Amino acid sequence: MADRKVVDDGVGRYTAPDLPPDEPLEVGRYLDAFRRSKWLIALIVVSLTAAVLVISLLLPKTYRATSKMALVQPPDSLSSSDAPSTQRGLNTVAIRLTTREALRAAVRNGLKGETVDSLGDKVHATVDQDANVINVVATDDTARGAAAIANGVAATFLDTQNRAQRHQLARTRAVLEKELADLQASLTSLNQAEVQSQIAAVRQQLTDLALSANNGSSLQLAERAQAPSSPSSPRPIRNAFFAFFASLFIAALVVLARAQLRPRVSGSRELSRLLDLPVMVEVPFVRRRFGHSPNTLSAIEYEAYQTLQASLRMQLPPDRQRTVLVTSALHGEGKTEVTAALGLVLAQAGQRTWLVSADMRWPRLHELFDVAQTPGLAEVLAGGRQGESAVSVGARKEGARENGGRLHVLASGQRPPDPAQLLAGGALDGFFDEIRESEYDYVLLDGPPLLGLMDSQVLAQRVDGVIVVCRPDRLTSENAIDMRELLQRLRAPALGLVIIGGRSSPISYFEG
C-alpha cells in the first residue's frame, strides 16, 4: 500500500512506500555452524581425501611419452603461406596420424603386442598453436612401451609420407621428361622460338623437382620420445591435494545446508527471547577430561558461578529452605557440572547445601564428587533402606562431605527399570517432606532433561525454583519453543537461564 505523507505545501499525498531495509547477513550464525560442525567437517575432509589417496595408489600406473614432428617448409598441398592455412594443414596431418591405416602400418612396422584397436586407445596427436609442431602422445603401462609407441607411430607415418612423396616425384618427373622429349621431337625451323621457350620451362620444372627431392619431406622428426621417469597417472599427492579442497567445499555446503534446514539458536539473547526467561549468567565452556573434579574451575568460571549463586540468593533468599531443580532441554548441555559448581560456591559462601542426583538415566554427579553410586535416591524412593532417611544416607556417605561439612551429596543409586514411574510414586512426596524437615539452606536437584521425559516434569512441580541450563550450539529454535511451552504448561517456577558457551583455559582457582 502507498504511504500518505505531508509535503512542503502542507498537502498530504500518497507516495510509494519506502523499501524495507536490507536484512544483515548473519555471519555469526554461520560461523557458529562451522564451529559446531568441526568434527563433521573433519570427518568429510579426512574420509574423502583418504579415499582418493587410496584409490590413486591402487590404480594401475600409466606412463606418457611424446615425440614431435616439425613442419620445415609447407608441402605442396599447403601452398598458401598464411598461418590459418598452415594450421589447417597440420590439423589434417594430426587427424591422419591416428587413422586406422596409419596405426595398421605402425603395427606392421614392428610394434609387437599391439593391435589397431589398442593403439587407438593409446595414441593421440595434437598441434602446437604457437609453432608448426605436431605432438604424437602415447600412453602405456610401462615407460619404455610408451616411448616405443610414440616413436613407432611417428616414424612409420613419416616413412609412409616420404615414400608417397618420392613416388609422386617420380611420376611427375616421368611426365615432365616425356613432355620434354615430345617437345624436342616437334622442334622445327617454323616453330623454333615457341618450342624452345616451352622446353626451357619444362627443364626449369625438372630442376625445381630435383631440388624438392634433395630437400626431402616438409615434415621431419624434430624430437624422439624418451622413456618418462615417473608415471603420468595416477598422481596420488596431486589427487589428494585437489580432493582436500574439494572435500572442504563439499563439507561447507553440507554445514550450510544443515544450518538452513535445522537452524540453531544463535546466542543467549535469542535463547532468552525464545524461552521468555532472563539470563542469570553465561558460563564459559571449558573442555575437560571425563570425570574431572568440580573443585577445579577457571578464574572466569569461578566468577560466573559466584554471579549465579548471588542471583539465586537474591531471587530465593535463604530465609527458609529453598529447593531448586537444575535441568536442561536436552541431554549433554552441562546441567550436572552447573549443579556441582553451584553447590560448591554456595557451600563456600557458608550456605548448608545438599546436592541430590535425581537423574537416574545419565547419572554423573557421583563421579564428579567421587562418591559411591549406591545407596542413593533410587533405593530411598524404593523403600530399600527402611528406617533410615534420605538425609542421613546422603550425609554419611564416604567422600560426600565438602567445605567443612556444609556440602553433602546424595547419588542417584542403582538405575531402576522405570525411573519415571519411581519418581511419580507416593515415595517422592515423602522424600520432599524429609527435605523440608532437614536443616539445609539449599537443596539442588540434578534432574534429567525436560523434553521428552516425565522425570524432571514431576520434579519441576515440587520445587521452589527451576534453573534451565542451555548450550545454544545444541539447541534449535523448535527445542527452545517446546521448552517454553512445557514450562508454561507445568507452571514451573523458572528462575532463569544458565548459558554454557565461550571458551577459557582452566586454571586451579579454589579447592574444597
Q: What pLDDT score does 398 carry?
A: 42
Residue 48 CB contacts under 8 Å (≥ 6 apart), including other chains: 243, 246, 247, 250
Residue 135's pLDDT band (boundaries 50, 70, 90)?
Answer: very high
The Cα 174–Cα 163 span in angstroms is 17
Residue 8 in this model has a pLDDT that exceeds 70: no
pLDDT of residue 404: 54
Checking if the pLDDT of 10 tops 80, the result is: no
pLDDT(314) > 60: yes
SS3 134: strand
Helix (H) or strand (E) run with residue 53 in it: helix 38-58
* pLDDT for residue 16: 54
pLDDT tens per residue across span 440-483: 999 999 998 988 888 888 888 889 999 999 988 788 888 888 99
Which is higher by pLDDT, 397 or 428? 428
Q: What percent of the chain has pLDDT over 70?
A: 80
Residue 139: phi and psi, rounded to 5, are -120, 150
Q: What angle do CA 272, 278, 279 make, to 5 degrees?
A: 80
For 270, the grid coordinates are 535469542
Return the amino acid letter for 75.
P
* CA distances for 213 relative to 79, 166, 200, 217, angstroms: 17, 7, 20, 8
**What is the tens place of the pLDDT at every residue in 210-219?**
776 665 567 8
Q: What is the pLDDT of residue 20?
A: 47
Contacts of 204 (CB under 8 A, 6+ apart): none
Residue 382: pLDDT band (50, 70, 90) is confident
In this prediction, residue 507 carries a pLDDT of 35
Q: Which residues pair with 409 in a beta bridge?
A: 355
- d(Cα 380, Cα 377) in Å, to the nearest integer? 5
User: By the 8 A CB rule, do 157 and 102 touch?
Assistant: yes
Q: How confident is the model at residue 413 (pLDDT cuts 50, 70, 90)?
A: confident
Question: Residues 6 or more apart from 61 whose CB is under 8 A from it?
Answer: 141, 231, 233, 234
What are the tens digits of pLDDT across the range 340-380? 999 999 999 889 999 999 888 888 888 888 888 778 888 88
Element (DSSP H or E) covering residue 205 = helix 192-215
According to DSSP, the β-strands at 123-127 and 133-140 are antiparallel
Mean pLDDT (the chain) is 80
Question: Across residues 159-184, what is the average pLDDT?
Answer: 83
How far apart are the C-alpha atoms of 366 and 55, rounded to whole Å?
49
Q: Which of 8-12, 474-478, 488-492 has the highest mean pLDDT?
A: 488-492
pLDDT at 291 over 60: no
Does pLDDT of 509 surpass 60?
Answer: no
Rounded to an integer, the average pLDDT of 381-409 is 58
468's torsion region: left (phi>0), alpha (psi -120 to 50) or beta? beta
Residue 481 · residue 278 · CB < 8 Å? no
Neighbours of 381 (CB within 10 A): 22
CB 492 within 8 A of CB 466: yes
Average pLDDT over residues 265-274: 81
pLDDT band at 13 (very low <50, low <70, confident <90, very high): low
| Average pLDDT over every residue of 412-434 | 82
Distances (CA, A) of 295 to 336, 339, 469: 14, 12, 20
pLDDT at 297: 72
In this structure, are residues 413 and 375 in contact, taking their beta carbons and an 8 Å threshold? yes
Contact 495, 401 (CB under 8 A): no
Say if residue 142's pLDDT is above 60. Answer: yes
| 188 pLDDT higher than 80 | no
Q: Of the given ranges (66-75, 148-157, 186-195, 201-210), which has the lowest mean pLDDT?
A: 186-195
Other residues' Cβ atoms within 10 Å of the Cβ of residue 291 = 9
Residue 83 has pLDDT above 60, yes or no: yes
Please give the residue that has the higher pLDDT: either 458 or 388. 458
Mean pLDDT of 17-34: 57
Cis peptide before 21 (omega within 30 of 0): no
Which sign does the torsion angle of CA 150, 151, 153, 154 carry? positive
What pLDDT sits at residue 452?
Answer: 83
pLDDT score of 52 more than 90:
yes
Q: Is the pLDDT of residue 249 over 90?
A: yes
pTM to 2 decimals?
0.55
CB–CB of 67/136 below 8 Å? yes
Range 97-103, long-range pairs (CB < 8 A, 24+ positions):
97/123, 97/125, 97/134, 97/136, 97/153, 97/154, 97/157, 98/123, 98/124, 98/125, 102/153, 102/156, 102/157, 102/160, 103/153
Of 95-109, 249-263, 428-442, the one with minimum mean pLDDT is 249-263
